[in-house]
Structure 1
């Protein structure tokens, strides 16, 4: 479990690729202070497991499922990445509840200054990613806990406003229009949406009339 408050910007040291599987070695400092084998570290919002480490870097496995559904596959040696250690019990949740389970990716459509902030407009890759996005709700982009300032369902986009501190302390400072970000929607919205959809499907099935499955379910057939 994470909070979306980035602790450090790491730098990708090397990538070992074998098809859609990868081992990433990432240079870091602060998050290595108490690292142990098997620890969970969020890399650009993706929860990954430490498989080895030294005083200046750590390595993580990336499985094919993660490769296909996140922007980690686009990383090259030297790429900056957002890093956060798993939340310790009793700590402050300064952001929101983040699992590190990325729902998909999106493309940055624009980056515009607004007074002391910068507004990023993002187009998620897939309409389903906008289903649970709520204005003034929480969202995670590349592991950063952010507040949604606008949702344009007609255009298929969402917008977030970034304060100078967040921009300076995260790899988002290097992102430009056309770049890809990982998206994790708010866990509360995802579960509510799933349960409501499940109830709707169940209700529709019950109204669909007689069927062998319905008769068997209700004890009319052995």
Structure 2
């Protein structure tokens, strides 16, 4: 699991499927660790001085933007959280729901508003003032309608992530709040699936991942 708070942007030394990235974060990793690259959960397979490697399978390349990474590309990085770590962003699994396209980047006061188009099945899981991970970055949804949503980004977040390089027409990875996935499934699935999902949601509630824990 991750929080959506990017710890560093790394530099791609070799693109997928054998992804090789240079970063300071590599010093805190070990083989087998999980690391989110542009919001996609990958497993560290090799480490060298200041670098790590991770294998990217075809399914991941189909469902994310990682296939667009090239030598020299910059990527958002976050190490998986450990038990007891602060959850300062929101719960992010690293399993993206799909990709979207930035349609506009517009200034608003001290912020920039990014408007993103995507599949309707993704926006069905978003809500105004809810959370969404865009390229692994925990952001708050400003507005949403079928097939399009917007987020507002402060200067610190923009400059500390790859958003500083993004412009209209660029693709991004999108992951909805995982709780929203199960709520949606719980209201549309067959009864037996609803029963299993309810058990999962109760576990989240009991462990403080939703606001209704006692």
TM-score (norm 1): 0.84
* Cα 1:36–1:159 shift into 2, 3 Å: same
Of 43, 46, 50, the residue aligned with 1:49 is 43
How far does the alpha carbon of each residue in 1:64-90 deviate from its partner, in whole angstroms, 9 at most, with x for none? 110100000111111110000000111
* Cα 1:193–1:36 shift into 2, 3 Å: same
- Confirm or deny that 1:91 pairs with 2:82: no
Of 181, 188, 191, the residue aligned with 1:190 is 181
SS at the partner of 2:152? Answer: strand
How far does the alpha carbon of each residue in 1:6-54 deviate from its partner, in whole angstroms, 9 at most, with x for none? 00000111125xxxxx11000101x123211000000000000001011
**Is residue 123–residue 145 contact of structure 2 (8 Å, CA) maintained in 1?**
no
- Confirm or deny that 1:73 pairs with 2:64: no
| Match in the other structure for 2:121 | 128
Structure 1 residue 201: Cα displacement: 10
**Separation in structure 1 between the aligned mates of residue 58 and residue 9 of structure 2, nearest angstrom:** 24
| Match in the other structure for 1:6 | 6
List structure 1 runs of 4+ shifted beyond 3 angstroms. 199-202
Structure 1: any 5+ residue segments left out of the alignment?
A: 17-21, 203-222
Structure 1 residue 152: Cα displacement: 2.6
RMSD: 1.6
Structure 1 residue 195: Cα displacement: 1.5
| Match in the other structure for 1:146 | 139
**Counterparts of 1:7-46 in structure 2 under 5 Å?**
7-15=7-15, 22-29=17-24, 31-46=25-40
**Separation in structure 2 between the aligned mates of residue 34 and residue 79 of structure 1, nearest angstrom:** 22
| Match in the other structure for 1:158 | 149
- Who wins on radius of gyration, i.e. which is larger? 1
**Separation in structure 2 between the aligned mates of residue 141 and residue 162 of structure 1, nearest angstrom:** 11
Structure 2: any 5+ residue segments left out of the alignment?
A: 194-214
**Separation in structure 2 between the aligned mates of residue 80 and residue 135 of structure 1, nearest angstrom:** 30
How far does the alpha carbon of each residue in 1:117-145 deviate from its partner, in whole angstroms, 9 at most, with x for none? 00000001x21111110000000000000
SS at the partner of 2:163? Answer: helix
**Is residue 44–residue 53 contact of structure 2 (8 Å, CA) maintained in 1?**
yes
**Counterparts of 1:163-178 in structure 2 under 5 Å?**
163-178=154-169
